[in-house]
Amino acid sequence: MKVLISGAGVAGPALAYWLHRHGHTPTVVERAPAPRPGGQAVDVRGVALEVVERMGLLAEVRAAATGMRGMSFVDGDGVELVRTTEETLTGGLTGSPDVEVLRDDLTAIFLRRNGTAVETVFGDSVVALDQDEHRVDVTFASGPRREFELVVGADGLHSTVRSLVFGPEDRYLRHLGVYLSVFSTANHLGLDHWQVFHRNEGRMAGVYSARRNTEARAVLGFESPPLDYDHRDLDQQRKLVADAFAGDGWETPRLVEAMWEAPDFYFDSMSQVRMERWSHGRVALVGDAGYCGSPLSGQGTSTALVGAYVLAGELKAAGGDHRTAFARCESTIRDYVERNQALASADPEGRPSHDDIAAAAGALVLPVY
């Protein structure tokens, strides 16, 4: 079948790989003009590691790992309060089989594996969908219409496909009371595979080295009820962050200054997507578009990888019968997804235990297709 996938983040290229491997013809369309740079360090855990291994990419993903050795917390004057090499805030236990990797590095690995075997179109997006019993007619922002047998929304928290087919996002988004900004900056602290955080009331600033210490990623997060802003207006978002951290100590003013020039600035609410169904007719959702766990769960990437693998596998097992495949995919991974989403229900100041994370990450026997 010809399958359109909207979104070239993690879930989209992973799904395209499995669909192509099972004999389908996927097309990936991405609004950005090129693979999106930046983003935070993400984790591949539990059964998601098995998915990556079945793709033949586990060694390459491990080679791209951040290699974090530990973390520190400091006060407003930079005086170290806590230091540990047993765990990190972004990646969990050090020395575990889990893999922490920068989001854009992971996406690049998947896109390289797909190569020219998968049509990938950047700088375009879906603006309308019209489906019937046999096909989906898709209208693109660039103007032309194309016909596909299936459409999958892998386009993230603010999924256009979800809005077009299932209705406005406010029906499905559950705000967790936190906003987060991530962007690249210089490793001006000379961090060596290390991360440092400064916590203030309702706010936390942090920085960790990246790409063998040649650069760093800054993290600025703050608690807030839902804010009214345009999620495509980056300058408006930068001002929200700057206002939230005005007057903070440590390196925070320097990080805020760097934020204004960062080419890969990211800002969004920590929200989950909760839906009763992830498909309607010939359209389905995968990853954050259908069941975002938020960075507070630490499992968004893993659930996206598992969801992509199972969705493609069930299409194969059902001989292309999308109704059967979509239903089986949901029944197979629903409990796994909900257990991983539940990790974000803890107090953001606390975090779930490592045992809870490991149990949720492994809460599925991965089918073989």
Tell whether the model's pLDDT for residue 92 goes beyond 80.
yes
Q: Give residue 353's pLDDT band: very low, low, confident or very high (50, 70, 90).
A: confident
CA–CA distance, 168 with 364 (Å, rounded to integer): 31
Mean pLDDT value of segment 79-92: 96
How large is the average pLDDT for residues 189-210?
97
Mean pLDDT for the stretch of residues 245-253? 97
- Averaged over 15-34, what is the pLDDT? 98
d(CA 315, CA 318): 5
pLDDT number for residue 247:
94
Q: What are the distances in angstroms from CA 333 to CA 129, 139, 330? A: 26, 31, 6
192 class by beta-carbon count within 10 Å (0-12 exposed, 13-18 middle, 19+ buried): exposed
pTM of the model: 0.96
- Give CA–CA dist 72/84, Å, rounded: 7
Q: In what order do the strands lie in the sheet with 80-84?
A: 80-84, 70-74, 194-200, 203-210, 215-223, 173-185, 266-273
Average pLDDT over residues 56-82: 97
Distant-in-sequence, close-in-space partners of 291: CB < 8 Å, separation ≥ 6: 272, 273, 274, 275, 278, 285, 303, 307, 337, 341
Mean pLDDT of 356-363: 95
What confidence score (pLDDT) does residue 345 get?
66
**pLDDT tens-place string over residues 93-126:** 999 999 999 999 999 999 999 999 999 999 999 9
Q: In whole angstroms, how large is the CA radius of gyration of the chain? A: 20
Backbone dihedral angles phi then psi of residue 126, each to the nearest 5 degrees: -80, 135
Q: Are 346 and 85 in contact (CB under 8 A)?
A: no
pLDDT score, position 347: 52
Over residues 254-265, the pLDDT tens digits come to: 999 999 999 999
pLDDT one-digit tens code per residue, 140-186: 999 989 999 999 999 999 999 999 999 999 999 999 999 999 999 99
Task: Write the DSSP symbol of residue 36.
Answer: P
- Pick left, alpha or beta for residue 345 (phi over 0 → left; psi -120 to 50 → alpha; otherwise beta): alpha
Q: What is the mean pLDDT of the chain?
A: 96
The full set of domains in the chain, from first to last, is: 2-65+98-173+272-361 (3.50.50.60), 176-271 (3.30.9.30)
The pLDDT assigned to 231 comes to: 87
In the block, residue with structure tokens 């320097």: 254
Buried b (16+ CB within 10 A) or exposed e, 64-73: bbbbbeebbb
8 Å CB contact between 299 and 321: no
* Per-residue pLDDT at 350 exceeds 80: no
